[in-house]
């Protein structure tokens, strides 16, 4: 391997390591944001929101590193595909951090309202856990160059989508029973959407892994995935 190739692979490995560390931060932040919402912990909410600015700065730094690789190394074919995929992953990770911060901002806006109903709490817990699980799987697929693991992420996301739908239905029921006011309903609907979008960004990361390794491209024209049934008893016990 000549010196140019060695330099390219060293630079690429640096970028990959940065992506893995940022994704790990997102996983941790989603867990904290979920706890903030469930506990009404405004102090930790502020910590998470401030931390998002740091993640944004790290994303910019990593993106600039990738631009330097493109400018100085001029990669082609598979090498170029890797760098471009990493740049897109950086964007997905940065947006995921924004969404986790959004959960904390929603918590601030509904602080002091009704105590969350057990069913809603259970679903929030499940959505947070599933979002973290999907993200971990996507980044593991990236670290391990594992096509099968990357392909499995889409089915994992289907469960998160089902949880979100179940949560919205439970919100309607709580609202009809007078256990949820309008402002709470609006903010909690946003939160459910934020979890769903975090899962989508993890799916995008997994899709980039498959693209780099096989050249596969997702067909976004395909029919909707079949609905996943959520065990309500299991949710209420979560």
* pLDDT of 225 above 70: no
Summarize pLDDT for 137-153 with one digit per residue, the tens: 999 999 999 999 999 99
Report the distance separating Cα 191 and Cα 164, nearest Å: 9
> Is the pLDDT score of 233 beyond 70?
no
| Phi, psi values for residue 55, rounded to 5° | -65, -40
Identify the CA nearest to 158 among candidates 85, 223, 95, 213. 223
pLDDT at 227 over 60: no
pLDDT band at 72 (very low <50, low <70, confident <90, very high): confident
CA–CA distance, 224 with 207 (Å, rounded to integer): 17
Least confident of 137-141, 177-181, 190-194, 224-228: 224-228
Phi, psi values for residue 112, rounded to 5°: 90, 0
- CB atoms closer than 10 angstroms to residue 156: 20
> What average pLDDT does this structure show over 208-219?
86
120, 170 Cβ separation under 8 angstroms: yes
Please state, as a whole number, how many other Cβ atoms lie within 10 Å of the Cβ of residue 73.
18
**Inter-CA distances, 204 with 3, 113, 142, 196, Å:** 33, 36, 11, 13
Domains of the chain (ranges; CATH) run: 3-236 (1.20.58.220)
Which of 107-116, 132-141, 158-167, 218-227 bottoms out in mean pLDDT, i.e. has the lowest? 218-227
What's the DSSP call for residue 218?
A: -
What percent of the residues of the chain are helix, what percent strand, and what percent coil, each to the nearest 5? 85, 0, 15
**Residue pLDDT, tens place only, 24-66:** 999 999 999 999 999 999 999 999 999 999 999 999 999 999 9
Average pLDDT score over residue span 204-223: 81
Helix, strand counts (H, E) of the chain: 7, 0
**C-alpha–C-alpha distance, residues 199 and 183, integer Å:** 25
What the block records as the tokens of 231 is 């065990």
124 contacts: CB under 8 Å, gap ≥ 6: 34, 37, 38, 116, 167, 191
Q: Report the predicted TM-score, pTM, of the whole model to 2 decimal places.
A: 0.88
DSSP states of 10-70? HHHHHHHHHHHHHHHHHHHHHHHHHHHHHHT-HHHHHHHHHHHHHHHHHHHHHHHHHHHHH
């Amino acid at each position: 391997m000549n010196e140019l190739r060695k330099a390219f692979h060293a630079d690429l490995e640096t970028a990959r390591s940065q992506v893995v560390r940022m994704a790990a931060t997102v996983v941790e932040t989603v867990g904290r944001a979920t706890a903030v919402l469930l506990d009404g912990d405004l102090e930790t909410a502020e910590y998470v929101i401030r931390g998002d600015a740091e993640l944004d700065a790290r994303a910019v730094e990593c993106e600039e590193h990738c631009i330097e690789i493109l400018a100085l190394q001029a990669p082609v074919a598979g090498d170029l595909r890797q760098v471009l995929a990493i740049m897109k992953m950086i964007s997905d990770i940065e947006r995921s951090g924004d969404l986790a911060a959004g959960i904390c901002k929603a918590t601030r806006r509904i602080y002091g309202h009704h105590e969350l109903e057990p069913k809603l709490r259970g679903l929030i817990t499940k959505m947070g856990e599933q979002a973290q699980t999907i993200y971990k799987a996507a980044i593991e697929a990236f670290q391990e160059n594992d096509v099968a693991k990357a392909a499995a992420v889409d089915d994992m996301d289907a469960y998160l989508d089902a949880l979100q739908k179940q949560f919205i239905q439970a919100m309607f029921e709580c609202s009809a029973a007078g256990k949820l006011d309008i402002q709470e309903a609006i903010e909690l609907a946003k939160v459910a959407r934020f979890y769903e979008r975090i899962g989508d960004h993890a799916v995008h990361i997994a899709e980039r892994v498959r693209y780099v390794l096989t050249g596969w491209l997702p067909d976004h024209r395909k029919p909707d995935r079949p609905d996943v049934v959520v065990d309500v008893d299991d949710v209420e016990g979560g």
